[in-house]
Structure 1
Amino acid sequence: MALRVTFVAAAGSSPVLAERFEDDRPLDQAGWGEVQRVAHELLPLAAADLRYCSPAPRSRATGEGLGYAPLVQLALRDCDMGRWRGLTLGEAMAREPQAVDAWLADPRATPHGGESLLDFVGRVGGWLDTRPVEDGCRIVAVAEPSVIRAALVYVLKAPPATYWSIDVRSLSTVGVSGRAGRWSLRLEGTCAQSTRA
């Protein structure tokens, strides 16, 4: 028995270099424009048997804007960044350069007082492994790019450092299929190109 899960990256709410840890800002006008431009391509995913989203405002808004009416899943929340919540990487680096270096180098490190990369990957993977398994069941999940990167590291059983090498663009899709502990990556659909740099 296998199920298919398609992840949809939430629309952007800021340029990539201005992304903030655990960003809880709503979708801005440009983000809504992105959703409107690709809605016709992503609308067929609304036919999935189960539709989920992360609790982040832009993920919820993206799911609603695409007509998915998704259920919020706390396990799909962004990595807990502790005292760095709301900062950009550059801001965290300016305040605590050695701590940021340690965090980037060691997947077990939690210099920010939040969640380690390993724990984050494990949490997202645990969510994936506990989805109801019915042969052919289709799931769509709208989440932050960081959550999708964590899911891919888990699915591929890749070294944690792989997380930093995965680029997930807003409104892109990627699929996985299988069941708990036995997942395969499925390249599918179109990738909506963001106008943000």
Structure 2
Amino acid sequence: MGADAASSSPYIRSRGEGEAAVQAAFPGAIIIRPAVMFAPDDSFLTTILRLLRRLPAVPIFGDGRTRLQPTYADDVAAAITQILLQSKKPSPIYELAGPRVYSYEELLRTIARTAGLRPVLMRMPFALWDAVAGVAEILPHAPLTRNQVELMQIDTTASDNLPGFHALGISPRSLEEELEAMLKQSK
């Protein structure tokens, strides 16, 4: 999610232009737009957990109100399989998002609560995040990029007018349930 050929952000715009280029080059191509994905040992949820556990105060993007709808990676894989196996003509675009929309701050608090943590959250303006990301991009394995900061400034939630998990007969799993299972396995 987060592809928009009309965006003022070069990164977000290029994602939208990429979709259009694929559809032009491969008529009938199916575009899959997953929300941010989580899974055991991923770089999203495990990174957030590590920060919540280690930092005395956790910086959050902007005012923490950006909305996102994380989805479980296995559910996305099941949806792709279902799309490939269905006998009817598939939709040209699917948006695959989890069952709950969170603000970024709600997401951090939910993850912390599920893990038994009580973090101090600190709001940081996007301009500061952009500067930090600019410096971080110099590193060999940048922990943060300006593209990620740009994405955190827009809501990445499923559209009401595009098919997703429900159209494929899939009930996406909740972040809380999967996180609880991951935490039990790691103990």
Task: Normalising by structure 2, report the TM-score.
Answer: 0.27
Largest Rg, 1 or 2:
2
- Structure with higher RCO (Cα < 8 A, 6+ apart): 1
Task: Normalising by structure 1, report the TM-score.
Answer: 0.27
